[in-house]
Amino acid sequence: MNKAEVKRGLINRLKKANAFWSYQVDAIKDVPDDILVELVMLHLDLDDINKLFDIYPYKFVKKAWIENVVAQGEMYYVVNKFFAWYYFKMKKPGAYVRSMATRELNKKLIA
């Protein structure tokens, strides 16, 4: 499968998972790549998350995860700690997640 097919499949799975609850689902044709990473990591399973690494570079997925998921703070702390350990091989995932969340918050406060 090519990138477009995988992306289309992930979008369809997100629609079925009701991840676009605040949008008219029929109107959704495409999703920005960083938002797709966020939604897949928050709403779909590990098999779907693994597909992200098939269609995007590791660094892109990690950056999108930090900026869009970790930045949401405590609400997703436990799942982010798992992602830090499982996907990004952090030796101290809890400390890493907290430091990245703080960094993202500081970026928003300064901007």
Distance between CA 43 and CA 19 in Å, rounded?
7
Backbone Cα Rg of the chain:
14
Q: Is residue 67 scored above 90 in pLDDT?
A: yes
Q: What is the pTM of this model?
A: 0.91
Q: What is the pLDDT of residue 111?
A: 67
Question: For residues 71 and 101, is the Cβ–Cβ distance under 8 A?
Answer: yes
Rank 25-29, 55-59, 71-75, 101-105 by mean pLDDT and report only the highest. 55-59
Cα-based torsion angle of the residue sequence 63, 42, 87, 36 in order, rounded to the nearest 10 degrees:
-50
Distance between CA 61 and CA 2 in Å, rounded?
17
DSSP reduced 3-state for 47 = helix
As a whole number, the mean pLDDT across the chain is 93
Q: Is residue 77 scored above 80 in pLDDT?
A: yes
DSSP state of 91: S
Residue 40 is encoded by which pair of tokens?
């897949």
